[in-house]
Amino acid sequence: MIIIAGLGNPGSKYEFTRHNFGFRVIDYLAGRWNIKVDRYECRSLVGKKDDNLILVKPLTYMNRSGEALRELVVKYKVSPRDVLVIYDDLYLPFGSIRIRKSGGSGGHKGMESIILALGTEEIPRIRLGIGPPPPSGYEYYVLSEFTDREIKLLPMVLKKVAEAVEFILNEGIEKAMSLYNAKNIGVGNG
């Protein structure tokens, strides 16, 4: 069983914000794989593909994402190494992704919550670039909506992230890191 969790905040107020990029990826994967992510379970919206994959949108708000994921990991008896977390990173330029099989939170409160709740840093993740942030006010920045230019590029970015997720599932995270961490998706900020 693999759990793919996209991080975000519930509610229409946050729906189109940069901080909800993880939710957008889950929605995109659900459409691509014909999965309905509409069942409430363990304080999350979930959708299953066969009996081996679950798409998850924790509804505990970003900073408490770990609480919901811990419940799912326990319920489905899944190792933290079989959880793929997808979340925004304001220190990466928009259009870039970074895949890691473990590591610290990098200051991301949602990932920090997950590391604390699961008791390990050995959690695979995909960080989605939403930066660069303005010199000050990063909290406002992550809760703001994408620019018109970024919105036009989102379909291409979401497609590339979905391809990276599929590559991880089929070929493993090591190969995916070699392939996807070496390049920008090609949208840049210029």
Encode pLDDT of 24-75 as tens digits: 999 999 999 999 999 999 999 999 998 899 999 999 999 999 999 999 999 9
What pLDDT does 186 receive?
54
- Whether residue 188 has pLDDT greater than 90: no
CA distances from 139 to 39, 136, 142 (A): 30, 9, 6
Which one of the listed residues 18, 19, 108, 160 is annotated catalytic?
Answer: 19
pLDDT of residue 133: 81
Give strand pairing partners of 58: 44
Q: Is 19 a catalytic residue?
A: yes
Q: How many CB atoms lie within 10 A of CB 165?
A: 24
Q: What is the DSSP string of 117-133?
A: HHT-S---EEEEEEEPP
Residues 73-123 have pLDDT tens digits of 999 999 999 999 999 999 999 999 999 999 999 999 999 999 999 999 999
Model confidence at 136, pLDDT cuts 50, 70, 90, reads confident
Residue 16 has pLDDT above 70, yes or no: yes
**pLDDT value at residue 187:** 55
* pLDDT, position 132: 85
Where do the domains of the chain lie, and which CATH numbers do they carry? Answer: 2-180 (3.40.50.1470)
What pLDDT does 190 receive?
A: 43
Query: What average pLDDT does the segment 161-185 reach?
Result: 90
Spatial CA neighbour of 101 closest among 85, 77, 88? 85
Q: Burial of 50 by CB count in 10 Å (0-12 exposed, 13-18 middle, 19+ buried)?
A: exposed
φ/ψ (deg, to 5) at 156:
-65, -40
